[in-house]
Amino acid sequence: MIVKRVGIINWITFLTYVIVITFSPGPNNITSMVYGSKYKIKIVMNYIIGIWVGFFLVMLATGVFNLVLIDLFPNIEKYLGYVGSIYLSFLAVNMLFSNPEESQIDSLVTTKLVAIGMSIQLINPKVIMYGMLAMSSFILPVYSNFLQMTLFSILLASTAFISCSVWAFFGNFFSKYLKRNELLFKVVVSSLLFYCAYMIIR
């Protein structure tokens, strides 16, 4: 049973925040769409499962961070933002100019997608900042112990799983159109990633 600390959580505001942030363009959704346009959905789900695992771990870590470490490292968010911005810019350039051979793609999707989806979350600034704000503003003022943070982390990770799945299905459904307009698609996706990088440090 979950024991409340102070008052009750504002579920309407909380869920609005979760849905808007989770379904908006970002590294997870954009890469899920890209993979969806290239591979079968069954293969892409390996990547999205990895996202779920990594997302859950980050949400749990941000909860602990908010409870224990924020006073020790008050400026850490600024530095995470710079690191994340650099990473997203690298991802954008790589997305624009990459042209992997089919054999490389087959090897990637069969052996590494789960690990890639999971590990990206650990350096995904949008996920980290999202978790920090969700925990500090909505969850921890009401719910505080480890079990409660675990349950909310599962909820947040599951929302991300649904979001990435929707974007992957979108990419898969329009895969023929995207392949016919590959250059335009790469430019748009790279521009979105550069925009994400800018918004983090502005």
With 90 as the cut, is the pLDDT of residue 51 above it? yes
* Cα-based angle 156, 26, 47 (whole degrees, multiple of 5): 70
Q: What are the pLDDT digits (tens) for 184-196? A: 777 877 777 677 6
Per the model's pLDDT, the better-predicted residue between 70 and 2 turns out to be 70
How does pLDDT run across 74-92, given as a tens digit for each residue?
A: 666 566 567 666 766 776 7
Contact (CB, 8 A) for 49 and 117: yes
Residues of the chain with pLDDT > 70: what percent? 72
Q: Report domain extents, the chain.
A: 11-201
% the chain with pLDDT above 90: 17
Looking at the chain, list the stretches that DSSP marks H as alpha helix, in order from N- to C-terminal side: 11-23, 27-38, 41-64, 76-97, 102-111, 113-122, 125-133, 146-173, 175-180, 182-201
Worst-scoring range by mean pLDDT, 91-95, 130-134, 148-152? 91-95
Task: Report pLDDT for 173.
Answer: 82
For position 144, what pLDDT does the model report?
A: 72
Q: CA nearest 108: which of 8, 35, 196?
A: 35
Q: pTM for the complete prediction?
A: 0.68
Residue 27: which residues within 8 A CB-CB, separation 6 or more? 88, 91, 120, 124, 126, 193, 196
pLDDT for 101 equals 44
d(CA 128, CA 46): 22
Mean pLDDT of the chain, nearest integer = 77
**What is the predicted pLDDT for the residue at 6?**
47
Q: Classify residue 9 by its DSSP letter.
A: -
Whether residue 100 has pLDDT greater than 50: no
pLDDT of residue 80: 58
Q: How confident is the model at residue 13 (pLDDT cuts 50, 70, 90)?
A: confident
Q: How far is CA 71 from CA 75, 141, 149, in A?
A: 9, 16, 19
